[in-house]
Structure 1
Amino acid sequence: MSVVRMIEPVPASADTPAERMRRVAKIAAQQVDAVDREGRFPADTIEVLKRERLLGVAIPVEHGGEGLGTMEIADLIVQLAQACGSSAMIYAMHQIKTSSFVSHGGASDWHLAYMRRIAAEQLLMASATTEAGIGGNLRNSICAVEVADGRFSLTKEATVISYGRHADAILATARRAPDAASSDQVMVVIPADLNRTLERTSVWDTLGMRGTCSDGFHLVAHGDAAQIFPKPFSEIAAQSMLASSHIFWGATWFGIATDAFNRAQAFVKAAARKQADGSLPPGALRLAEAAALLQEMKGHLAAAIHRFDAAKGNDDALSSIGFTAEINALKVAASEKAGAIVRLAMQINGIVGYKNGTPFSVGRHLRDVSSAPVMISNDRILSNTATLLLMSRFDTSLRG
C-alpha cells in the first residue's frame, strides 16, 4: 500500500508543466540532503508531484492527461534532477512505466481504464523486471504467470523494486506460462489496492541514489487476467520501454551533472573575482573541459529523442538493429560522461567540493551518478550491441 497520503489536487491553472516542476524542485532541494543521508523515500516531493498533477502529463489529453512528448518529459526530469537525483530517478522510472500504457494501453479496456486512473488519481507506477537468478537481464524471467478461469497468479523473487513499498502499482514481468521459454514474457499490472503482498528480502543501503528505496521483495499477486498486457513484453520493450528507459535515465544523469557543473562554474567565477591581474583562476580550463562534455551529453540526448519521436508508430523502425544500437549507445555514453563531469567538478572545487554542506559540495552528485554504469551493466549493454553490429553496418549518414 502506498505511504504517500492522499491529497487534494490543486485547481487547474494556466501554469506550464515547467512552472509546476519548479515548485516541486524547490521542495526537493530543501530535503535532498536528508533524503540522501537517511536513505528515505522523498515522500514530500512525491506528494507535491501529485498535487501539481505531474504524474499523468504523458497520458493523452483525451484520457485525462496533458499529452506531453518525450522531449518535454525529459526536460521536466532534468529540472528535478538538478534538485534531487533520487526524486528525479523515481519520476523517470514512473514515466518509463507510464509510456507502456501510452503506447500499448489502448489495446485493452482494462489498461485503458487504468491509464485514465493514473491521470485522474495521480498514481505512482513502479517496475519489477529484475529477478533472483537473472540479474539485470530484463529480457528473461524465471517466474511465470499462471492463468486459469480468467484469473492469474504470480510469485516473483524481485531483487530490486525501486520505491516498491510506496508505489500505487507495480508492473512486473514474467514468463507467459509455466512451460514458456525464459524470453517469452508478459507484463502484468499489479495495483497496491488489489490482491498483492510484498515481503522485503533485502534493504537498499547503497553508495548513492539512496532515496529510491530499491529494496528486494518476495512478490505474490493474484488478479484478473485482463491485468496482463495483451502484447508480448518483447514488443513492449522494443517499441517503448527500451528507448524511454535510456532517454529518461540519461535525462536524470544529465540533470545531476548539470547541477555539479553549475556549482563548479560558481566556484571558478568566485575565484576569478579575486584575481587582481585578471588571469584565469585554477580550475578554469577544467571547467571548459566539463562544459564540452556537458554539451556532448546534451547533444546526444537530444538526437536520441528526435530519433525516437521520428520512429514512433513504426514498429519496424523501433525494432531495427540501428535504432537499438543507437539507444544502447546513449545509455553507455550518458552514464560515463555524467561521471566524468562530476569528477571534474570535484577537481575544480577541491576541498569545498569534497566536503558536505558547502555551496560547492558535489559528493552526493558523485555517489548518485556512480550508479549509472551499473544500472543495467554497461558491459551487458555493450555485449548486446556488439552482437547487433555483427549483423549490420554502421550508418554514417548525418541525417540519421
Structure 2
Amino acid sequence: MTIQTTRPGDAPVLDRATSIEPGLRALIVAGIAAAHAEAVDRDGRFPAEAIEAAKAQRLMGLTVPVALGGEGASLATAADVCYALGRACASTAMIYAMHLTKVACIVGHGIGQTWQEALLERLCREQLLLASSTTEGQGGGNLRSSAAAIERDGEAIILDRAATVISYGAEADGVVTTARRAPDAAASDQVLAVFLKEDYALERLSGWETLGMRGTRSFGFRLRARGRPEQVLAVAYPTIHAETMTPVSHILWSSAWAGIAAGAVERAQAFVRQAARGAGGQMPPGDAQYGKAASSLRTLRGMIAQGLDRYAAAGEARALGSLDFQTAITMLKVETSELALATVSSAMRACGLAGYRQDGPFSIGRALRDILSAPIMIHNDRITANLAGTSLLATVPASLRD
C-alpha cells in the first residue's frame, strides 16, 4: 500500500492497492466534512473539501467491481459510509448517496456494454463525481415521466432538457439523466443516459436558497448534451428504476438521514449528561425526550437493515419487480424520512433552549433544517398516492381496469 499526502491536514491519498477498510476511510472523510459543515451550511456552498477527501480515499468507486478498478464493496458498506457522512455533514452525505445511486445504475445495467465499462474504469481511475437529473419541467418529482427526448444528429445523439434540479450539477464530472427514448416516444418510455462534463453545457435556470441541505446546490439547469448512442444504457429505464434506482436510492438516502439523526442524538446525549452533572445527578426535564430519540434512532437503523436484507433476498429470488418488494422498498423512504425527522425533533426537545439556539455546542438547528428535506425530497404524499393507485389496480380484475 502507498499513502501520499500533499499538505499537512490533507486526507491521505490512497493508491489502488490500499487495504484500509472503507469504514475507516469514511471516518477520515467525515472528520473533514464535519470541520467544514458549518461553513457549507452558512454559505450555501459545495462541500469541496469533503468531496476531495472522498476522492483521495478512493470512495467514488466504492461499489464498482474490482475488475473495473473499484473497491467491490457491498450496498451495506455503502450505507454505512453514508451514515458516517450524515453524522458529520448532511449535504456531503446526500451528494455521496446520489452519486453512488447513479454508479449502481451503471454497474447493475451497464456491465457488458463497452462504453459503460470504460466509463466505470475511468470513474475509478479519476474518481469522478456523477450527478443525477431525473426531474424536469412541471412534472417535479415524477421520475417516471420525461418531456425531453434523445434525438439523433447523424451518428451522434443530442438532448436538450430543462431540469427542475440537478444537485451539485455545476461541480459534477458527469450527469446521469432520464429522457424519452425518442421524440415520438411516450413520456413513460424512458432511457437512462450518461454524459461526461465534456459532453454538455449547463445554463442555470433557478436558485437554491433553502432551509437546509444548502450544500447540495440543487439549482435548476438547462442541460444541452451531445454524445454517442452507446452512452444510453441498453436496458429500459423502467427496469433500472424498479431494480436499482428506487431500492438503492431509498436505502442510501435513509442511511444519510439516519446519520443526521444520530448526530443530533449524540448532541442530546452530551447535553443530558452535562445537565445531570451540573444538577448533582438529577436528570433534566428533557431526559425522557432523549430516551425517545435514542429509541427511535435504533428503530430507524433496524428499518434500514431490513431494507438491505429485503433487497438482497429479492435479488436472489429475481423478484425485484414484484409488487410486494416495490411497495416495501418504496415505503422505506416514507417511513425512514418521517422517523428521522421525529428523532431529530425529540433530540432538540431533549436539549431545550440549548438545542434551539443556533450557537453553542448543543445546537440542533442545522440537523433539523437538513432533515426537514427528507419527507419532501420526492414528496411522501406523492409516493403514498402512487402506491395506493398501483395497489388498487393490482387487486382489480384486468377486465374492469378500462
Q: Pick the TM interval, shorter chain.
A: over 0.9
Aligned to 2:214: 210
SS at match of 1:173: strand
Distance 1:370 1:225 in 2: 40
Identify unmatched segments of 5+ residues in structure 2.
1-10, 396-402
Aligned to 1:22: 27
Distance 2:148 2:79 in 1: 33
Aligned to 1:263: 267
Distance 1:69 1:149 in 2: 41
Distance 2:284 2:140 in 1: 47
Instruction: Give structure 1 regions of 4+ aligned residues with deviation exceeding 3 angstroms.
Output: none
Q: 1:383 aligns with which of 377, 382, 385?
A: 385
Q: 1:233 aligns with which of 224, 227, 237?
A: 237
**C-alpha distance 8-345 of structure 1, shift in aligned 2 (>3 A):** closer
Distance 2:165 2:138 in 1: 12
Amino acid corresponding to residue 292 of structure 1 in structure 2: S
Q: 1:70 aligns with which of 55, 70, 75?
A: 75
Aligned to 1:329: 331
1:250 pairs with 2:261: no
Instruction: Give how far 1:355 is off.
Output: 1.4
Deviations 1:87-117 (A, max 9, x none): 0000000000000111011131111110111
Distance 1:283 1:275 in 2: 13
SS at match of 1:82: helix
Amino acid corresponding to residue 119 of structure 1 in structure 2: C
Question: Does the Cα contact within 8 Å between 2:288 and 2:350 map onto a contact in 1?
Answer: no
Question: Does the Cα contact within 8 Å between 1:145 and 1:176 map onto a contact in 2?
Answer: yes
Distance 1:148 1:314 in 2: 42
Question: Does the Cα contact within 8 Å between 2:86 and 2:256 map onto a contact in 1?
Answer: yes
Aligned to 1:224: 228
Amino acid corresponding to residue 301 of structure 2 in structure 1: K
1:178 pairs with 2:177: no
Amino acid corresponding to residue 337 of structure 2 in structure 1: S
Question: Does the Cα contact within 8 Å between 1:325 and 1:388 map onto a contact in 2?
Answer: no
Distance 1:179 1:31 in 2: 48
Amino acid corresponding to residue 201 of structure 1 in structure 2: L
Identity of aligned residues (%): 47
**C-alpha distance 353-311 of structure 1, shift in aligned 2 (>3 A):** same
Amino acid corresponding to residue 100 of structure 2 in structure 1: Q
Aligned to 2:8: none
Distance 1:210 1:280 in 2: 36
> Counterparts in 2 of 1:105-116, with a 5 A limit?
105-116=110-121
Aligned to 1:306: 309
Aligned to 2:399: none
Amino acid corresponding to residue 324 of structure 2 in structure 1: G
> Counterparts in 2 of 1:312-323, with a 5 A limit?
312=315, 314-315=317-318, 317-323=319-325
Instruction: Give how far 1:147 is off.
Output: 2.2
Instruction: Give how far 1:152 is off.
Output: 0.5
> Counterparts in 2 of 1:51-90, with a 5 A limit?
51-90=56-95
Question: Does the Cα contact within 8 Å between 1:155 and 1:221 map onto a contact in 2?
Answer: yes
1:150 pairs with 2:155: yes
Aligned to 2:96: 91
Aligned to 1:352: 354
Question: Does the Cα contact within 8 Å between 2:286 and 2:352 map onto a contact in 1?
Answer: no
Instruction: Give how far 1:148 is off.
Output: 4.4
Distance 1:198 1:229 in 2: 22
Aligned to 1:294: 297
Aligned to 1:122: 127
Question: Does the Cα contact within 8 Å between 1:133 and 1:142 map onto a contact in 2?
Answer: no
Deviations 1:147-179 (A, max 9, x none): 244310100000100000111110111100011
Instruction: Give how far 1:347 is off.
Output: 1.0
Amino acid corresponding to residue 165 of structure 2 in structure 1: V
Instruction: Give how far 1:70 is off.
Output: 1.1
Deviations 1:342-394 (A, max 9, x none): 1111111112111123111110000001111110010111012212332568x
SS at match of 1:133: helix
Distance 1:209 1:50 in 2: 21
Distance 1:180 1:13 in 2: 47
Identify unmatched segments of 5+ residues in structure 1.
1-6, 394-400
CA RMSD of aligned residues (A): 1.5
Aligned to 1:398: none
Aligned to 2:400: none
| TM-score (structure 1 length as normaliser) | 0.93
Deviations 1:315-343 (A, max 9, x none): 4x111100111011110111111111111
Aligned to 1:10: 14
SS at match of 1:217: strand
Distance 1:264 1:237 in 2: 38
Instruction: Give how far 1:280 is off.
Output: 3.0
SS at match of 1:140: coil
SS at match of 2:366: helix
SS at match of 1:174: strand
Distance 1:216 1:373 in 2: 20
Q: 1:284 aligns with which of 287, 306, 330?
A: 287
| TM-score (structure 2 length as normaliser) | 0.93
